[in-house]
Every structure is written in C-alpha cells, then in structure tokens.
Amino acid sequence: MADSEQKPLVGIIMGSKSDLPTMEACTKQLEAFGVPYELVIASAHRTPDKVHAWASSARDRGLKVIIAAAGKAAHLGGVVAAFTPLPVVGVPMKTSDLGGMDSLLSMVQMPSGVPVACVAINGAKNAAIYATQVLATSDERYAQVMADFKRQMAEG
C-alpha cells in the first residue's frame, strides 16, 4: 500500500500468486504516484465467493478503480465488473500455452453492459497509470501527478 494512513483508492485483484511478480510493476507505479491500494488474490474459478464478496463491497470500502490481472481463461475482470459499478482495468497475463493471447481475448470480449478496459499482455505498469488517470478526473492531487508524469516523459 502506498501510505498505510490513507484509505485504498485502487483495488488490485489477481487470480493467482504466480501473477505477483508481473504485478509488481503495477504496485511500484502506484506507490511512485502516491496512490493507496489494496491487493487480494482470488480466482474467478477457484474462489468465486471470495471474488464476489470483495468486488461487491469495493465501492463501499472507498475504492474508485479496480485492476484485475488474470491468465488463460481470464474471466476475473469480467466477473469483478459484474459485481461492481466501478471501472475495471484488465491485465492479461502472459501464459505458457498461448503466450497471453488467450488472456487478452478473454478480457476484450466482454458482453455489452459489462465493460473491462484492457492493457497489453503483462501491461501492469500501464494499468497503474490508467487507474491514476481515472482518479485524476475527480482529484486534483492525481491530476497534478499525471501532469508531472507526462511532462517528465516528454523531457526524456
């Protein structure tokens, strides 16, 4: 978590502990931006009740954006989106079977009414940037963080 004194604004959920190393790019970027987050490991297929409880209470806990990372039949983002009104950003995990294309296609083929934004395969850092941009639409602190970030990128 970026600051233990702050309530989490971003929820990160991943389907497996094996996703943690890839998702470190996400947590590190959120920490660099000063965005407080919470992280949970829960599978849409193996622990659906845990996913339901976590996602359906996310808004009440103060979360504003959710990042969902999953691989293979990557239904986690869509399941989470079905249980919350919050925006969900999917991070398709690279897989040994199909290189992550299975994860990517699972995420981008959500049915109408259940959108999940999607970054690149293993695009954990971009998920953090996108989540912070969402926060920036209603929080001047994060608007300034993003303006500074974009300026620093332009300056090289």
Q: With beta carbons less than 8 A apart as the criterion, state whether 76 and 15 touch.
A: yes
**pLDDT tens digits along 93-139:** 999 889 999 999 999 999 999 999 999 999 999 999 999 999 999 99
Number of domains in the chain: 1
The pair of structure tokens assigned to 11 is: 């929820």
Residue 30 to residues 5, 47, 84, 141, Cα–Cα distance (Å): 15, 26, 22, 13
Q: Do the domain assignments include residue 4?
A: no
For residue 4, what pLDDT is reported?
Answer: 52
Contact assessment for residue 69 and residue 23, using Cβ atoms and an 8 Å cutoff? yes
Q: What is the pTM of this model?
A: 0.95
Site of tokens 């808004």: 59
Residue 52 belongs to a domain with what CATH number?
A: 3.40.50.1970
Is residue 1 assigned to a domain? Answer: no
